[in-house]
Structure 1
Amino acid sequence: MSWQEPLKVFIGLILLGFPVALIFAWAFELTPEGVKLTESVADGESIHKETGKKLEIAILVGIGLIVALFGYQQFTASDSSVTTNSATNYSGNGPAAGVGGDSIAVLPFVDLSPDGDQEYFSDGISEEILNVLVRIPKLKVAGRTSSFSFKGKNQDLRDIGAALNVDHVLEGSVRKAGARLRITAQLIRSNDGFHVWSETYDRELTDIFAIQDDIAKNVADAMAKSLGIAAGQSLVGSRTDDPIAYDNYLKAHELYRQRGEDNLRKARNLLADAIARDPNFADAWAEMGLILETYPWYVTGYRYDNSELWASALDAAEQMARRALAIDPENVQALSVLGEAYTQRHDYVRAFEYYDRISALGANIVVLGPWAQTLIQVGYFDEAEKVARASVAVDPLNAIEQNSLGWSLAVQGRYDDAMAVWSNHIDRDTEYRITFPYFNLARLFIVLGRYQDANDLIERVFKNSPNYSESEREQNLASMANLRKLAAGDLTPDEYVKIEGDPVLAYTSESLIKQLNEPAPAVKKLEALWLKDDVELKLFMLTNDSYEIAFQNPTWQQAVRDSGVLKLWQARGFPYFCEAKGEDDFQCYADRVLRKQT
């Protein structure tokens, strides 16, 4: 027996116990009397504050151990055992300047399962087919967020085609019963409703990837043009042969989209089981990295109460992503996880290496919005605008992409353009789940002295959005009261900016600088933002009224150095409004930032 066999057995035993350990840690609480089910623990009885985060660290260490063992096993295995493809890989189909032409939107397939409980599966299959279609050269595919915004709406296909700027729509249904699948797909021309192609597949669940591949090829053939598919070329790589692992992956992906601490915990359990069942399931590893990287944002006080735990989460996310890349070197989700991990660590040189790799592959629109925001954080305003415009062209109804575009315009002083972008989104929004455009537009209103408009807009958010706690509502409504006083003349800008403890003030004081007789209090608040140890840099605010002061401020200049931004500029090039001064110094110019309105 090879010396590697005991190692494989050891790894297998760890994997068998790993999901159990995760479930135990997340389903039970430690109390002075011992371990109890979380739901059975009375208020005040839990010692979660003392033990919970230790359990989290232990779990993350366990994940790291598993990755290390698998990595070693992978290293010693032959190359033939490695799967090198994934349906989430986008090959040569970067962000389109516009959709139109040979273009398609994939609407969410309808769940027709007997119990109506497979919506996560039908949505997941729809998204998987979308991801396969994106791999077809010359075919432009509308983004997932925009396409799925029509879910459950009996809307005319001509209107959908016009809204998404596509000439074809793919829709269908999924019926899942036990191990059997029935998938019906139909390709429809959006301008006249003509059914170009349709097919019904009655297969075993294990044939799901063959079905996806067949649908994609039939779509390409039916659109009557050569879309660059080579004869015999498979568009879907071997993902996993385990239908339960795949089902758990789809469930976890849907829970990730819903966000929230509980949903992310459940998603981690499901992915742990998927990985245990199929250690070569690259997308499951990448998704686990995404979950671990996202989770800290949804735990109150996670970052500032326990920076060690935050760092551990990033380390674990990185290991998950690297495991995925060991199986599939072009896994876009894994590359994105690594790019974001290094961004959060302020290691921008490394972060941009991964974002550039994604771009070279044909950028996944899922990561374009966050990438545009990162570009803004480090001063690359013009590049951020290009990336954001590409994102919006592909996914025009995505609030994150719209927010990034508006932000990239505002930091260049193009306020009218930015306001038009955000207003366009707000006019269509009915859910109030993504609120960045509202707050950013409100800040622009403050810049322009339209305090009542700012007040009304933010009050509208807190009245309708499900995302905020009662305490957050109360704090921000108190801030709105201060804005009303400012609008009514009961507070001068100088008095307003001196208020302490106002959650809105830190982000609006820079907008008032030109209106202040005494700018020192506003500058002090800005310096606190520049020095804040936060994931999101505040070096370049939404508006440029503060740039003249900031660029000459020693605190701002040192923050550029300490945050790693100067190192990035030296490696990648300086923004259009900054230049090097010697080997280790630089100068930025406020009068070069402003760009003309389009």
Structure 2
Amino acid sequence: MPLKSTFLGELQRRNVHRAALFYAGAAWLLVQIATQVFPFFDIPNSTVRIVVIAVVVGFPFAMLFSWFYEWTPQGIKRESEIVHGESITRETGKKLDRAIIAVLSVAVVLLLANSFVLRKDASSVAAAAVAAPASFATSKSIAVLPFTDLSPGKDQEYFSDGMAEELLNALAKVKDLKVAGRTSSFSFKGKNEDLRGIGKALGVTTILEGSVRKQGDRVRITAQLIQTEDGFHLWSESYDGDLKDVFELQERIARAITDALKIVLVGEQQQRLVPVATSNPEAYALFLKATKVFNLRDGAHFPEAIAGLNEAVRLDPKYARAYARLAALHAIAINYTAMEVDEAWATAERNAQIAIELDPSLAEPHAALGQVYNQQRRMLAARTSLEHAVALDPTDVTAQFWLGTVLIATGYTTQGTAQLDRTLAIDPLLPNALGWRGDEYLNAGDRDNARRVLQQSADAGLSFGEQRLSWLAHAEGRDADAIAYSTRGMRIFLGGFPGDASETLARGLFGKAAERAKAVAMIDAYLAARSGTVAGAAPYGLLLLGEPARALSVVRRAPTNNDALFFQMLWSPQGTVGRKLPQFSEFVRKVGLTELWDQYGPPDQCQRKAPGDYVCD
């Protein structure tokens, strides 16, 4: 008999093939349990690696054991001691078959549980993503979800969120790694969504989840990197340290992620991924608290956040990021608080300049200056500062978005729309960017895209999103809906007006002539009683209520508390009547637009007659 046939027959007789199947199934089951269960008990990732290595190394030994020993009805015996008979071999085979079936059944149950029980159905995520621009999931892409606060008092959410955001910011700067923006990633906070759906929504192939346990000066950070396609845990680990070690802990996590994704680091990142922003743990905690307020645009807590950052820079006078965040808070304060305008601007500029002197590589202080200059109608300086911020850090979503809004507000609607698309490519669920993008869809006559994008913006909690939906409803002949949307959407911009101002304005915009006259009279009364900075909603309303000349006059006198509200509408189809007024040429010169246009060329709907002299249609 040939050697090959004899050997294969002997393997079958000794049940080695059954033993191999049993071992493979049991090994796979053990590895799956280790990778999916160990992280929940903070068992180090090194233990998982030991399990994997052990099952691989153990395979040849298991096969040798099955060659020399056999499972019989009387127990395990050496093969040489067995007198083989058909009944014994058949009985032994049946027992091994049953064992193999049992192991494989458990494995299948675990797989089904992971796919259909442990993770919720992806439909809710897909619905959330329907308005997001299509994203291509590259092989090296990641979303950092907010970390869970496991601290005893459950009062360290700002810290756990901050840890996730800091890691996100560090990873976003790694070349060849696509990182989903903060707003999009954090929109899944508190939702037990299916990872495959999140990956599809954000266009990423991996997700970083984690938890933070902070008690006193001690902190434990647990993180795990998961493939969105199949839920496989690529890596997990727990890190313990003091608060003074927090940047080192972040560095170790970020480097472990790049290692797991097999990313080749270049330049300075070979030595450091997470910069040490401050050596003072208390100052860092205050920075994280203020960052939470800034991200939420929580105007009620702006004073608290500003006070905290002032204390942070007192504790560490060289804390550049704290100065930068102070500048950013003051740059937007007039939109969310009653802070005096000149004070907000001066404080923002002062802190931005300090931050730039301490760390010229930071983008945030330049973006804050751009926002202030825009509010001051120093249009050329605003665009220059924002473009510099984007050049310093192309992953800075705030700088990218602010640049897009400045481009649109100064007439460069095509460039501004493209800039919004770049912003949404980084952070596809950013509500305000979706709102502005939806407006441009509507202005271009693309109602289908406008509807899905604007609806998502409103669903994400952007109050002004409903005002934008009102114009869509009006375009579709649904004026009752338009009034309802506008009533809710304009409330935030009508501080200083009567309590029913939003409904009065909505009915004036979308109702009968008598209601239009009532809305104009309400704005007249507001302007007559106002001596300081006026609300941007006043000229916005006049422009849309058929009083474009008066709207230009109000805006020309001095900056409002929200110029963008008016200027965005000025370059829309509804602003055409204002752009065609004889006084428009002098208006754009007065508000600083012609200086910008002389530098960058005429905007989309204007032609240059001479330096500083433009005609628009």
Shared fold (TM-score, shorter chain, > 0.5):
yes
1:371 corresponds in structure 2 to: 403
| Contact 2:539–2:555 (8 Å) recurs in 1 | no
Deviations 1:190-215 (A, max 9, x none): 11111001110011211111111121
Alpha-carbon separation, structure 2, partners of 1:466 and 1:419: 22
Which segment drifts farther, 499-508 or 378-387?
499-508
Change in Cα spacing, 1:511 to 1:107, as seen in structure 2 (3 Å) is same
More helix by share: 2
Does residue 387 of the first structure (1) align with residue 415 of the second (2)? no
1:399 corresponds in structure 2 to: 431
Q: Which letter maps to 2:503?
A: L
Change in Cα spacing, 1:497 to 1:468, as seen in structure 2 (3 Å) is closer
2:473 corresponds in structure 1 to: 445
Change in Cα spacing, 1:550 to 1:542, as seen in structure 2 (3 Å) is closer
Change in Cα spacing, 1:138 to 1:128, as seen in structure 2 (3 Å) is same
Alpha-carbon separation, structure 2, partners of 1:99 and 1:207: 36
1:576 corresponds in structure 2 to: 604
2:259 corresponds in structure 1 to: 221
Specify every segment of 5 or more residues in structure 1 that has no aligned partner in the other structure, as ranges.
1-95, 303-308, 513-520, 591-598
Which segment drifts farther, 533-542 or 494-503?
494-503
1:288-299 to structure 2, matched below 5 A, reads: 288-299=326-337
| Contact 2:556–2:590 (8 Å) recurs in 1 | no
1:523 corresponds in structure 2 to: 548
Change in Cα spacing, 1:542 to 1:550, as seen in structure 2 (3 Å) is closer
1:165-184 to structure 2, matched below 5 A, reads: 165-184=203-222
Offset of residue 350 of structure 1: 1.3
Deviations 1:380-420 (A, max 9, x none): 10111111011112212211110121233444555554344
Offset of residue 441 of structure 1: 2.1
Q: Which letter maps to 1:314?
A: W
Change in Cα spacing, 1:498 to 1:287, as seen in structure 2 (3 Å) is closer
Which segment drifts farther, 191-200 or 447-456?
447-456
Q: Which letter maps to 1:398?
A: L
Work out which of the residue numbers 156, 166, 169 in structure 2 matches 1:131.
169
Alpha-carbon separation, structure 1, partners of 2:294 and 2:411: 30
Does residue 563 of the first structure (1) align with residue 600 of the second (2)? no
Alpha-carbon separation, structure 1, partners of 2:230 and 2:136: 18
Alpha-carbon separation, structure 1, partners of 2:509 and 2:351: 46
2:76 corresponds in structure 1 to: none
2:547 partner SS: helix
2:234 corresponds in structure 1 to: 196
Deviations 1:426-462 (A, max 9, x none): 4x43xx3x22221122134335543122023235658
Does residue 553 of the first structure (1) align with residue 581 of the second (2)? yes
1:211 corresponds in structure 2 to: 249
Change in Cα spacing, 1:340 to 1:282, as seen in structure 2 (3 Å) is same
1:586 corresponds in structure 2 to: 614
1:541 partner SS: helix
Alpha-carbon separation, structure 2, partners of 1:151 and 1:228: 32
Offset of residue 523 of structure 1: 3.2
Q: Which letter maps to 1:187?
A: L
Offset of residue 120 of structure 1: 0.8
Offset of residue 468 of structure 1: 8.5
1:179-578 to structure 2, matched below 5 A, reads: 179-226=217-264, 228=266, 232-300=270-338, 302=339, 309-363=340-394, 364-412=396-444, 414=446, 417-426=449-458, 428-429=459-460, 432=461, 434-447=462-475, 449-459=477-487, 474-482=500-508, 485-486=511-512, 491=513, 500-501=522-523, 507=540, 510=543, 521-528=546-553, 530-531=555-556, 533=558, 534=560, 535-537=562-564, 538-541=566-569, 544-578=572-606
Alpha-carbon separation, structure 2, partners of 1:436 and 1:183: 38
Change in Cα spacing, 1:440 to 1:332, as seen in structure 2 (3 Å) is same
Q: Which letter maps to 1:272?
A: N
2:421 partner SS: helix
Deviations 1:494-535 (A, max 9, x none): 8678655499896466557xxxxxxxx533444345435225
| Contact 1:392–1:398 (8 Å) recurs in 2 | yes
| Contact 2:505–2:519 (8 Å) recurs in 1 | no
Does residue 145 of the first structure (1) align with residue 183 of the second (2)? yes
Offset of residue 104 of structure 1: 0.7
Which segment drifts farther, 266-275 or 449-458?
449-458
Alpha-carbon separation, structure 2, partners of 1:202 and 1:468: 50
CA RMSD of aligned residues (A): 3.0
Does residue 104 of the first structure (1) align with residue 104 of the second (2)? no
Deviations 1:458-507 (A, max 9, x none): 35658xx9999897652222344556753xxxx47986786554998964
Alpha-carbon separation, structure 2, partners of 1:468 and 1:495: 18
| Contact 1:402–1:425 (8 Å) recurs in 2 | yes
1:89 corresponds in structure 2 to: none
Change in Cα spacing, 1:215 to 1:348, as seen in structure 2 (3 Å) is same
Alpha-carbon separation, structure 1, partners of 2:509 and 2:610: 45
1:170 partner SS: strand
From the CA coordinates, give the structure whose radius of gyration is larger: 2
Which segment drifts farther, 503-512 or 229-238?
503-512
Alpha-carbon separation, structure 1, partners of 2:496 and 2:607: 46
1:74 corresponds in structure 2 to: none
Alpha-carbon separation, structure 1, partners of 2:362 and 2:455: 35
Q: Which letter maps to 2:501?
A: Q
Deviations 1:306-354 (A, max 9, x none): xxx4223211211111111111101111111111111111111111221
Alpha-carbon separation, structure 1, partners of 2:365 and 2:374: 14
Alpha-carbon separation, structure 2, partners of 1:494 and 1:202: 64
Offset of residue 585 of structure 1: 1.1
| Contact 2:494–2:502 (8 Å) recurs in 1 | no
Alpha-carbon separation, structure 2, partners of 1:210 and 1:118: 19
1:43-122 to structure 2, matched below 5 A, reads: 98=135, 100-101=137-138, 102-122=140-160
Change in Cα spacing, 1:133 to 1:574, as seen in structure 2 (3 Å) is same
Say which structure, 1 or 2, has more relative contact order (CA 8 Å, 6+ apart).
Answer: 1
Q: Which letter maps to 1:198?
A: S
2:117 corresponds in structure 1 to: none
2:34 corresponds in structure 1 to: none
Offset of residue 228 of structure 1: 4.8
Q: Which letter maps to 1:560?
A: V
Change in Cα spacing, 1:378 to 1:459, as seen in structure 2 (3 Å) is closer
1:353 partner SS: helix
Alpha-carbon separation, structure 1, partners of 2:568 and 2:289: 38
| Contact 1:381–1:411 (8 Å) recurs in 2 | no
